[in-house]
Amino acid sequence: MKKEAVILIGHGSRIPGAAEDMKRVASGMRERMGGGRIVEFCHMSMTGPFFPEVFDRCVAGGASKVVVIPYFLHMGAHILEDIPELLLAKAREYPGVEIIFGRNLGYDDCLVDLVIRRMNESWSLPDIRNTGRRKPA
């Protein structure tokens, strides 16, 4: 039986801790899916972990099938060019590993509910002029 891995790949940031939410999503996926699949996350740039090392770790952990999910809402250069190039490079390096370029987050009806919830949570926040530059609530 093939061991499967899922890798969430996001942009990355120079701000420490910026990827905590993506890390929490990966952790939640691990909990909900049980131990049958490897679940990892990585970044395109700025701070690690980076895709090549995470992919290698999945294969070293026994994965023979890897689904890469772009952690992006919108189509752009990373989805259309950069990520496919990374995946093709690993496909050449690991011809025996099935590599699937999964769908990006994109549009989903649940996002409408999420944005409405965030809007409702935001009405009581102070005017930006009263807080200076503030971190999101």
Distances in Å between the alpha carbon of 27 and those of 22, 45, 68, 83?
Answer: 9, 21, 16, 22
Cβ atoms of residues 54 and 32 within 8 Å: no
What pLDDT is attached to residue 133?
58
Q: Helix crossing, 51-60 with 83-93: angle to 10°?
A: 40
| 11 in catalytic set | yes
Q: What is the pLDDT of residue 19?
A: 82
Q: What percent of the chain stands above pLDDT 90? A: 76
Summarize pLDDT for 2-18 with one digit per residue, the tens: 799 999 999 988 888 88
Domains of the chain: 3-106 (3.40.50.1400)
Give the active site residue among 11, 43, 74, 78: 11
- Give the pair of three-digit tokens for residue 134: 């503030």
50 contact partners, CB below 8 Å, separation of at least 6: 42, 43, 44
pTM of the full structure: 0.88
How many whole angstroms separate alpha carbon 99 and alpha carbon 103? 13
